Amino acid sequence: MKILLDMNLSPAWVCVVIKAIQQYGDHLLSGALISIDENKARVRILPF
């Protein structure tokens, strides 16, 4: 699994990112992308 993070994340955002990775881990392992903003996290499963 490859993860791209903005290196200027505040500690509060780190917790949000960790929760999203835990919640969508199976999707990430199958090649999905996660988009996270202040209101929600979304999973995008791309066709191969």
Asked if 39 and 32 count as a contact pair (C-beta separation under 8 A), the reply is no
For residue 14, the model assigns a pLDDT of 82
Q: Which two tokens stand for residue 21?
A: 């990775």
Per the domain annotation, does 1 fall within a domain?
A: no
The model's pTM is 0.66
Per the domain annotation, does 6 fall within a domain?
A: no
Per the domain annotation, does 15 fall within a domain?
A: yes
- Read off φ and ψ for residue 8, nearest 5 degrees: -105, 35
Q: How many residues does the chain have?
A: 48
Per the domain annotation, does 27 fall within a domain?
A: yes
Q: Which two tokens stand for residue 43?
A: 């999973």
> What are 1-48's pLDDT values in tens digits?
666 666 677 888 888 888 888 998 888 888 888 888 777 888 887 766
Question: Could you list the residue range(s) of the whole structural domain that residue 31 is in?
Answer: 11-44
Q: How many domains does the chain have?
A: 1
Per the domain annotation, does 39 fall within a domain?
A: yes
Per the domain annotation, does 5 fall within a domain?
A: no
Per the domain annotation, does 29 fall within a domain?
A: yes
Tally of CB atoms within 10 A around 12? 7
